[in-house]
Structure 1
Amino acid sequence: MSHVRHAQMSRRSVLTAGLGAAAGLGLAACGSSEDPSGGGSSSGGGATVELTLALIPDPPGASEFYRAQMDAFEAANPGIRINIIENPGDQQLSAVELMFQQGNAPDIYRAQAAGFDRMYSRGWARSLEEFVTDDFRSRFPEGSLEPASSGLHRNGELYSIPLVWGKWSAMDLFVYNRSLLAASGFDAAPTTWGELEEIARAVTADGGGQVFGMAPEQASGIVRLSRQGVPYSIPGDGINLLTGEPDTANATMVEAVELMRRMNADGSLITGWESWDSARSYTEFAAGSFAMYTAQSWHIAEIRNLNPDIEMGIVPVPVPDSGRASFTPILQQFDPLWSMSSETEHPEEAWLVLDFLASEDFYRAYYEEFGTLTAMQSVWEDEIQANPDLSEVFGVAESTMQVVPNPKLASEGGATILNARAERPELRFTDSALESMIKNEDFAPKAAALDEQLRTFLDEIFATGDASVEDISFPDWDPLQPYDAAN
């Protein structure tokens, strides 16, 4: 089987693509240095405007990619210079916060998903509404920039620019090595948790200490497993949106953790997984060290780059033995990613950079470099059928993802609760789940203790009068059906 490799574009090709995008931007936005809002850079003999862009250098190769793209932007806008500051993903938000606190805020920064609300709640994001044009809106699928569902708006105004297709970051994928499964007598990937355990144990037994059945992808693997059997909000925030109550101790949730605990105890999980960094899972999979794992979408191109000939299958995540009880959530059209600082002294120039980061040529360059399905679907949708990997990824997304209630978008009270919950990472189940796996300890009492803490947390918020249980209760929602907020 032949495969189209998306991350084979040379740095020179990326730069050329970026120059095309930046040149188009510069030509389309010719204005005088006295009128930056007309779009032109202040290159008519005026002082150079320096902007700071704070980003996370991922996936691998992103540092070089963004520098090339910003060099291209500068070439088309000689009155603007971009200084790039890079922070590891787990440090980005804290680093950006410190920059604001020290009076040295970036002009543009990456604050992904819930991280954006952390910045927005502190008043550090500037509305982009004054800059948005019909041309800008036309770049994205029809209706996807509606304020009530875009995920990029707050209080009806646009505050963020997306990078990836709305389903890309949220989808749950299960990746397996066909040849390793076949060597142990299995001609298909597992579809249930019981089959997953059976296959992982068999592959490990046949691997002779060199090949293992599975890697857990840290705690995120348990999240991907469990939300096939419980409403997404339980592994996400510990709250069952059907009742508005803490529910980490839900029997199916506990079973997901117990499944991984058993597999770790019997050696079906690859040795040393608990100390891996974020890149190790796809690197070891590409090397054939283990047969299966719950993968992130961007891993696919990295695996294919490392091992173009690997017999890789991409399927939905296995469901509980009793059957699917929930779907992977579509919370909004897009995840926020790029934002403009509320403290920038150069909003017009900062918008030029954001507009560039949302241009067709930039999205195309990003897709061709990293294989990521970008927010502008036109740059990749024609390749779905031509590329087996992309076709399988797209098929999983279309068959396993559904619109769900999003309390943040439904009410101010819902946003209050979930934003406060995001500030309390110790209430998530993941640390306790990992502890159960590594120490081979029963997860149920840990889950019950977490629910007690969540109960206290919710009661404290309800006591302020800023929110109520109704803000996080959707009793008419069927987790097996798409949610319609209008009904």
Structure 2
Amino acid sequence: MTRTRRALPWVAAALALTTSCSLVGAGGEEASSGSKITITVALVPDPPGASEFYRQQFDQFQAANPAIAVKVVENPSDQQLSAIELMFQQDNAPDVFRAQDNGMDRMLERGWVAPLDSYVTPDFLGRFPEGSMEPATSGLHHDGKLMSLPLVWGDWSALRVFISNKAILRQNGFANPPKTWSELEKMAAAITKKGAGKVFGYAPAAAKAPAVEMLANTAVPYSVTANGIDFRTGRAATASPGLVEAVELHRRMQADGVMMPGWESWDGNRAFTEFAAGRLAMYASPPWNVAEIRKLNPSAEMSVSAIPVPDAGRGAYTALPQSFGPLWGMSARSKHPKEAWKVMDFLSSKGFHQAYYTKFGTFTALESAWKDQAAKDPDQQAILDVAEETLRPAPNPKLASKGGRAILTAREAKPELRHVDAAVAAIVGNKPFLPVAKEIDTKIEALIDQTVAASGGTASREDITFPAWNPLKPYKPEQ
């Protein structure tokens, strides 16, 4: 609540602005006069071009559903959860809203999300890949009830790729992208040296150095980078050698002037912009950057490959802890739930998913909307190949038990106990990461013990321990 109150003046101003000007599609006056039912949808203008895209899509929806008007409230990406919470607190809740991953958990905890089971049909569930909507593994269910719908392909949310400029590599005598961390370090140093301040070999993608996590996830279980916990043991593990070395790799490159200057202030768009301009040779990335590069530079000689692995060999695969990441929720306070469901159904229709894929190049939750077309595109086929090579199912304590959900929710409520800020400080300040990582682990251990003690017997270390799990093999829930 402290964080929410601090944001209220700014958010209130944003809401006042967006609420007054974001009625999209035809019929705004009719809706306000009462001849139509108005459904309010709260979303964010992301990715680039989303505002215009949603306007066009909801125009189509309204044409097919003339009794419904759609009012869109756009909130800035970094304020969306606080803004939605404020709308609920002011008794002005949206009927449909976008809240990803942990954000949806926050909405669920407050009782603001309506279950969808009474609306879905077998035909509706059949739109999604076989088995992906099972309550135990979907990532969309809470206590067995369907509480959210996805937008992006489950693999897309988890997948990370390595993007290289083949022309720059070739000019520096390299035939292929790096396969190991030492090759990455050597190649990046050589390219930066020859680039003489105009071309740089590598950058960690954005201000929070997400590449540290991307590389570390080839060395340690995903739970170490995501939560600071090794799910094989149930113990804090920020000081795991693989994560420590991923930080140290970046620290060396920073100290040696190898990485592109200024990355410490980059937003999520800067890396693909620099790459498309031919100033950045290599970086690790979420897959959506590939389409953005093509938009900016259709002729770029781009290679999309797997993230380099430690020299000693791969220690883990990129994890798929659930089928999907939650995104769309329906308000439990909606006065027009049937009409709100029609909007939700539209957002999960093949036509909408095809349009989203065509506009943004993003693989969506409905594979039938894009898979045939993606196979014909070299960039997208490369993404599919990397997904096949590097993704493996992994355990998810939040889906497995109430105790696991309680422990991880408590950990997520303390973002300072994640490696990110400490890793960036070590890289930029040229200080060893290991001592700080050990301090973080001590605090995580204490938090786990406190959460277990306060749970009244509903949580234990066993809820976050999966001793049979091998991060190099697909996990099955029965393990």
Structure 2 partner of 1:467:
459
Does 1:134 find its partner at 2:122? yes
Tell me by how many angstroms 1:198 deviates. 0.3
2:138 is equivalent to residue 146 of structure 1: no
**TM alignment of 1:8-157, pairs within 5 A:** 47-157=35-145
What amino acid is the match of 1:85?
Answer: V
Query: CA contact under 8 A between 1:46 and 1:79: conserved in structure 2?
Result: no
Q: Give the drift of 1:251.
A: 1.4
SS at match of 2:282: strand
- The equivalent residue for 1:244 is 234
Q: Does 2:467 correspond to 1:479?
A: no
Contact 2:213 2:243 in 1 (8 A): no
On the 8 A contact 2:411/2:444 being kept in 1, the answer is no
Structure 2 alignment gaps of length 5 or more: 1-24
Check conservation: 1:413, 1:467, Cα contact below 8 A.
yes
CA offsets 1:331-355 (integer angstroms, 9 cap, x no match): 1111110000111111101000000
Distance (Å, rounded) in 1 between the aligned partners of 2:144 and 2:274 = 45
In structure 2, how many angstroms separate the alpha carbons of the residues matched to 1:74 and 1:457? 49
- Determine the structure 1 residue equivalent to 2:261: 271
Q: CA RMSD in A?
A: 1.5
**What letter is aligned with 1:49?**
I
Structure 2 counterpart SS, 1:51: strand
Q: Residues 231-310 of structure 1: matches in 2 within 5 Å?
A: 231-310=221-300
Distance 2:120 2:97 in 1: 18
Whole-Å separation in 2 of the counterparts to 1:456 and 1:56: 37
Q: Which SS does the other structure have where 2:118 is aligned?
A: helix
Cα distance in 2 for partners of 1:451, 1:308 equals 45
1:381 deviates by 1.2
The amino acid of 2:405's aligned partner reads: A
State the SS of the aligned residue for 1:167: helix
SS in structure 2 at match of 1:482: coil
Q: Equivalent residue of 2:155, what SS? A: coil
Aligned to 1:408: 398
Indicate the larger mover: 440-449 or 223-232. Answer: 440-449
1:325-344 → structure 2 map (5 Å cutoff): 325-344=315-334
Q: Residue 88 of structure 1: CA displacement?
A: 2.1
1:358 aligns with 2:362: no
Cα distance in 2 for partners of 1:426, 1:211 equals 34
Name the residue aligned to 1:176: 164
The match for 2:446 is 456
Q: Is the 8 A contact 1:175 1:314 kept in 2?
A: yes
- Where 2:372 maps in the other structure, the secondary structure is helix
2-structure distance, mates of 1:252, 1:378: 38
* Aligned residues of 1:118 and 1:419 also touching (Cα < 8 A): no
- The separation in 2 between residues aligned to 1:264 and 1:74, in whole angstroms, is 52
Q: CA deviation at 1:384?
A: 3.5
Instruction: Determine helix, strand or coil for the equivalent of 1:332.
Output: coil
Question: Partners of 2:227 and 2:295 in 1: how far apart?
Answer: 35
Q: Is the deviation greater in 77-86 or in 303-312? A: 77-86
Structure 1 residue matching 2:157: 3-state secondary structure = coil
SS at match of 1:90: helix
Moved >3 Å (runs of 4+): none
Deviations 1:77-122 (A, max 9, x none): 2221111111222211111112112221111111112221121111
8 Å CA contact 2:101–2:327 kept in 1: the answer is yes
Q: Is the 8 A contact 1:204 1:212 kept in 2?
A: yes
Gaps of 5+ in 1: 1-21, 23-41
Q: What amino acid maps onto 1:241 in structure 2?
A: F
Counterpart-to-counterpart distance in 1, 2:135 and 2:441: 33
Q: Distance in 2 between matches of 1:421 and 1:348?
A: 37
Give the Cα separation in 2 of the matches to 1:229 and 1:47. Answer: 59
Counterpart AA for 1:372? T
**Paired AA for residue 382 in structure 2:** E
How far residue 169 of structure 1 moved from its aligned partner, in angstroms, is: 1.0
Equivalent residue, structure 2, for 1:397? 387
Does 2:207 match 1:215?
A: no
Deviation at 1:46, TM superposition (A): 6.5
Distance change (3 Å), C-alpha of 1:453 and 1:475: same
SS of residue paired to 1:216: coil
In structure 2, distance between residues paired with 1:87 and 1:191: 40
Partner Cα distance (2:287, 2:135) in 1: 26
Q: Following the alignment from structure 1 to structure 2, what is the Cα–Cα distance between the partners of residues 272 and 320? A: 26
Residue matched to 1:369: 359
SS at match of 1:435: helix
Q: 1:345 aligns with which of 329, 335, 338?
A: 335
Matches within 5 A, 1:199-214: 199-214=187-202
Residues 10-65 of structure 1 show CA distances to partners (whole Å, capped at 9, x for unaligned) of xxxxxxxxxxxx9xxxxxxxxxxxxxxxxxxx99x963211211111111000110
